[in-house]
Amino acid sequence: MGKVGTGYKFFICFLTGMLWGVIIGAVGISAIISYRMDGFYEEIAYLENTITDKDKKLEKLENSINQSSIVLKDIIIDLDFSSFSMEQIDKIDSISIEKAIKEKFTSLLGKEVKNLDADILMQVIDKRILKFDAAEYQLTVSKLILSDVLKLWVKVSVTEVHYPY
């Protein structure tokens, strides 16, 4: 009678091991997949932003192609997160900040550079507060270069952080 009881115990142990293996495998695979999906989501958001910028630029440049004067062709934003640690920098928020800044200046694409005032362009973004789901960011313009390309160096600092519960 000892053989019947031990066979039953081994069978229960085998089933328990299989069940734990399936659970741990499913958790591991879902963790790997969710990590990769987050990376793809960030890349998609960046690429969508790039496509919309390129479309707007192309449309403005096509409208001003016959003009012989220097026109604004591109907007380049350089965000400075020097007060942040690597863990605090959120790529989605940085993409959203860059998109919000470019939206303020897209109407200038294709316009003559001599008609634009650099001081007014700087004041459009300087000391502006942007609110997103998790935080509020204050923008400060460090430098601005205005030629056929508008280049802005913007320092980003956090004013308030909201933690989702």
3-class SS of residue 152: strand
5 within domain boundaries: no
In which order are the strands placed within the sheet that holds 128-131?
Answer: 74-80, 149-161, 135-146, 128-131
What's the total number of domains in the chain? 1
31 within domain boundaries: yes
Sign of the torsion formed by the C-alpha atoms of 117, 126, 108 and 53: positive
Rounded to 10 degrees, the C-alpha dihedral 39/43/45/48 comes to -160
139 within domain boundaries: yes
Tens of pLDDT, residue by residue over 78-127, are 888 877 766 667 777 788 888 888 888 888 888 888 888 888 888 888 88
- How many residues would you count in the chain? 165
91 within domain boundaries: yes
3 within domain boundaries: no
103 within domain boundaries: yes
Which tops the pLDDT comparison, 131 or 43? 43
Q: Which domain holds residue 113?
A: 11-18+21-161
56 within domain boundaries: yes
121 within domain boundaries: yes
Tens of pLDDT, residue by residue over 24-76, are 999 999 999 999 999 999 999 999 999 998 988 888 877 776 656 778 888 88
